[in-house]
């Protein structure tokens, strides 16, 4: 399934970069451009969230974009949420989650929007 998705993304990228004209803003001759479509290679993407695990005791989350209210969930190997913190990215610039008391094991840290969309998910291991 992952290979099919990758092939689809590559195919769409190839089509969009070869068939679509470059974007431009209208000029004094009344030309209006291509409606704002930009070549994929000219766009930049800034992730809305960055995650760092510091000193194996803390998960530091930095919000770089306002994406509304989110929850940070730490789940154990069976999928049970054992830590949950909430934040409003329009007001908060980040969150810190203390993981020093977690027992040895593999965990997943997930950021979920208020609508239930997963923004970012990372696996980590506690030794």
Q: 7-29 pLDDT, tens per residue?
A: 433 333 443 444 444 444 444 55
pLDDT, tens digit, 9 for 90 and up, residues 70-106: 999 999 999 999 999 999 999 999 999 999 999 999 9
Residue 32: pLDDT over 70: no
pLDDT of residue 12: 39
pLDDT of residue 6: 36
Q: How many CB atoms lie within 10 A of CB 37?
A: 12
pLDDT, tens digit, 9 for 90 and up, residues 40-75: 444 445 577 788 777 678 999 999 889 999 999 999
């Amino acid at each position: 399934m992952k290979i099919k998705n990758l092939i689809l993304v590559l195919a769409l990228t190839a089509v969009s970069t070869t068939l679509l004209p470059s974007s431009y803003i209208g000029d004094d001759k009344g030309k209006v451009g291509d409606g704002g479509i930009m070549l994929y290679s000219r766009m930049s993407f800034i992730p809305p969230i960055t995650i760092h695990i510091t000193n194996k005791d803390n998960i530091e989350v930095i919000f770089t974009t306002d994406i509304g209210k989110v929850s940070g969930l730490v789940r154990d190997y069976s999928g049970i949420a054992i830590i949950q913190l909430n934040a409003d990215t329009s007001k908060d610039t980040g969150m810190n989650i203390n993981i020093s008391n977690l027992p040895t094991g593999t965990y997943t840290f997930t950021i979920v929007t208020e609508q239930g969309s997963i923004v970012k998910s990372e696996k980590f291991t506690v030794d």
